[in-house]
Amino acid sequence: MNVPANATAANLAENWAESLRSGQLEQGPSWLRTLRSAAASEFLLHGLPGNKDEAWKYTSLRRLEDLNPALGVTGTGVDAAEWIPLLSPAGGFGFRFVDGHLQWLHQQAPQGVSMLSLQDVLSATGQDQLNHLRPLLEAVDVGGRGHAFEALNTALLRDGAIIHVAAGVDAGLCLAQWGLGGRADCRLANFRLIIILEQGARLQLLEQFQDAGQPADKPGNEPQKNAGQALNLMLQAQLAADSVLQHVRLQSAASTSILLTFSDVHQAARSSYTCTGFDVGGGLVRHDINCRLAGDGARAEVNGAFVLDHERHVDHHICIDHLAPSCSSEQFFRGVLGGSSRGVFNGKAVIRPGADGSRVRQSSANLLLSDLAEIDTKPELEIYADEVEASHGATVGSLDEQAVFYLRSRGLGDTAARRMLTVAFCRAVTARLPDAAMAEQIAAVLEASMPKLG
């Protein structure tokens, strides 16, 4: 059946309805089938969010509608082995999800770390493990239009990976590599990543999202008009007491790609979650990051830098929920927007009653390099507890002309001076990475992605 090129949101949900009803996802026990079908019903009932939904006010799904991807995956030939990630740090275990196929990377996971494919767990032999995951899988809120993609992710639950780190184990570096694009037919791939850190466990997670057809959407080039792909990724992380998850994301997908990520991080006492994300590509990108600081002294830090050109659209929606006393959280974002790109930052921190002695910091600073670029920035604080230390700030501006003159007066050309200052602006975020070599590599990626000036 031919589908019109510009389906409306309703049409898109309609097009997906058949796949959702057809019951092709019969794997798993009955409770899981019930979970899937309940999520499918929610999705079919509410459909996709629109600009009347507060959380989607600045981010239209028009591009997803235009792309009109079918659900599910059919491999048509991008070889995961030929896919070259931008960052290749030494060592690291992990996986690659390219062209709808999960592939383990060569290095074995260290002792105390288990890495499983969700599909394997869904098979008859994995029932025990699946039962352990049940509370986690059932905890996903799929109700209402605002949770359409979580509902879709649950309804289509099949592809995924589970990483478990035993108590006290330092798992080292885990690589998660996502290939987008490169295929002839448009698909919305669906993936669930589950990370469980037991008490005192540590993990570094390096995620890279890029076009499967080429190493990266080469900065400065006009967007390629290849068939786009979409990925609906949900990350669920459970951090037991004193565990540490260091999460780095580098997204350099093609302009035609659509990426939707939803992270739910549940944190017990004194656990620490640091997410530092870099977006230099993609067509439509939405990151939802929710952290629940449920135990005393837990700490969450969500940092991000985005360097956008052309018509890219990157939206960050962050909510850090302080539920226990003496927790701290920080959101630190830097955005550089050129072309007719658009950025959205909606960073919220909620200090619940009883979460006394919380510390919250939020900072969002943005540079607009073109008259057509746009940023919507909205830091939000809701405080219902006592003795809370909170600061927040948001700025939108252009480069400091005094600094530009200073550099030019030393011999640097206007463009070189502006570029140097713009990269420096983003280095405030790379400087937060614990690995200096990786920070330099990512700074170089940011620099190479800088929009043309003027």
Instruction: Output the smallest distance, CB 117 to other proteins, in A.
Output: 41
Work out whether the CA dihedral 144, 150, 152, 158 comes out positive or negative: negative
Q: Which of 205, 197, 196, 188 is nearest to 250 (CA)?
A: 205
Instruction: Output the smallest distance, CB 279 to other proteins, in A.
Output: 19
Q: Stretches 159-167, 249-257, 380-388, 413-421: which one binds other proteins (CB under 8 A)?
A: 413-421
Instruction: Output the smallest distance, CB 139 to other proteins, in A.
Output: 40
Site mask, other proteins, residues 289-328, x = CB under 8 A? Answer: ----------------------------------------
Nearest CB to other proteins, comparing residues 373 and 446: 446
Instruction: Output the smallest distance, CB 302 to other proteins, in A.
Output: 20
Nearest CB to other proteins, comparing residues 310 and 432: 432
408 interacts with other proteins by CB under 8 A: yes
Instruction: Output the smallest distance, CB 162 to other proteins, in A.
Output: 39
> Looking at 84, 416, 436, 437, which residue binds other proteins (CB under 8 A)?
416
Nearest CB to other proteins, comparing residues 206 and 417: 417
Site mask, other proteins, residues 376-405, x = CB under 8 A? Answer: ------------------------xxxx-x
Q: Are 280 and 445 within 8 A, CB to CB?
A: yes
Instruction: Output the smallest distance, CB 437 to other proteins, in A.
Output: 15
SS3 assignment for the chain: CCCCCCCCHHHHHHHHHHHHHCCCCCCCCHHHHHHHHHHHHHHHHHCCCCCCCHHHCCCCCHHHHHHCCEECCCCCCCCHHHCCCCCCCCCCEEEEEECCEEEECCCCCCCCEEEEEHHHHHCHHHHHHHHHHHHHHHCCCCCCHHHHHHHHHHHCCCCEEEEEECCCCEEEEEEEEEEECCCCCCEEEEEEEEEEECCCCEEEEEEEEEECCCCCCCCCCCCCCCCCCEEEEEEEEEECCCCEEEEEEEEECCCCCEEEEEEEEEECCCCEEEEEEEECCCCEEEEEEEEEECCCCCEEEEEEEEEECCCCEEEEEEEEEECCCCCEEEEEEEEEECCCCEEEEEEEEEECCCCCCCEEEEEEEEEECCCCCEEEEEEEEEECCCCCEEEEEEEEECCCHHHHHHHHCCCCCHHHHHHHHHHHHHHHHHCCCCCHHHHHHHHHHHHHCCCCCC
Instruction: Output the smallest distance, CB 446 to other proteins, in A.
Output: 11
Nearest CB to other proteins, comparing residues 18 and 414: 414
> Looking at 123, 386, 391, 406, which residue binds other proteins (CB under 8 A)?
406
Instruction: Output the smallest distance, CB 424 to other proteins, in A.
Output: 3
Site mask, other proteins, residues 344-383, x = CB under 8 A? Answer: ----------------------------------------
Nearest CB to other proteins, comparing residues 186 and 420: 420
Size of the site for other proteins (CB under 8 A): 25
Instruction: Output the smallest distance, CB 361 to other proteins, in A.
Output: 17
Work out whether the CA dihedral 266, 243, 303, 261 comes out positive or negative: negative
Nearest CB to other proteins, comparing residues 227 and 305: 305
Site mask, other proteins, residues 417-446, x = CB under 8 A? Answer: x--xx-xxxxxx--x---------------
Nearest CB to other proteins, comparing residues 179 and 335: 335
Instruction: Output the smallest distance, CB 159 to other proteins, in A.
Output: 39
Q: Which residues of this chain interact with other proteins, rule CB under 8 A?
A: 400-403, 405-414, 416-417, 420-421, 423-428, 431
